[in-house]
Homo-oligomer: A and B are copies of this chain.
Amino acid sequence: MGTRRRGEELEGAILQAAAEELRRSGYAGMTMDRVAARAGTNKNAIYRRWPHRAALGIAAYRHLSDVAMPHPDTGTLRGDALEMLRKANETWSSPHGAVLRSLLAAAADDPALLDLMRERSGADTMDRAWLTMLDRAVARGEAPPTAVHPRVAATPMMLLRAEYAMRGTPSVPDETLVEIVDEVFLPLVRGRV
């Protein structure tokens, strides 16, 4: 009965199994027993590595997730912003994003988990991408230099986020994205002195 997996190999199998469970049933449905069963091991091996279900959930999400950060360069601020929002909308409405949202919901009342999630969500990288976008717009003369401001840069994604929080539906319609850009983001950039 030769092979008993160890260390690295076993850990990978557990993460893989947990990720599949996450995809299938969301975080709420990700059972420790089922993860163990699917990984062909038992709960001991899991609890020796992660202190509780939530930690495993986050680790698994991280394992299946290496979201590429888009760096659009369409030539106009409007085009860049729309592209960013569309990519984000795509990601969040994918099964992948469902997992993320399910984790976020579960972490909402647990500050420690929220911290972990924030680290992994790549919010900082996202903000920086929007700032360089604004930089380029300034260089083109499309926006006043004062538009390069963290709060301005963060606003569109925050609005998209809030949209998801309110609806909970699988995806935000494209018109909403356009509206965020045309009715909020661009006027905001333009209105800064």
Contact = CB atoms under 8 A, between A and B. Distances in A.
B151 A161 contact: no
A105 B101 contact: no
A111 B158 CA distance: 22
Interface stretch (A73-81, A85-93, A162-170): A162-170
Given A114-B167, A158-B159, A158-B163, 17 more contacts: A26-B109, A27-B109, A102-B108, A104-B165, A105-B105, A108-B168, A111-B168, A123-B166, A149-B183, A151-B179, A159-B159, A161-B162, A161-B165, A187-B191, A187-B193, A188-B188, A191-B191
Contacts of A129: none
A151 B183 contact: yes
Interface residues of A, number: 41
A53 interface: no
A162 B158 contact: yes
A46 interface: no
A47 B165 CA distance: 29
A82 to B, nearest CB: 15
Contacts of A190: 191
A180 interface: yes
Contacts of A26: 109
Contact of A152 (B111, B114, B169, B183): B183
A142 B179 CA distance: 23
Interface string A134-155: 0000000000000001011001
Contact of A184 (B107, B152, B162): B152
A107 to B, nearest CB: 8
A109 B105 contact: yes
Contacts of A191: 186-192
Interface in A82-128: 101-102, 104-109, 111, 114, 118, 123
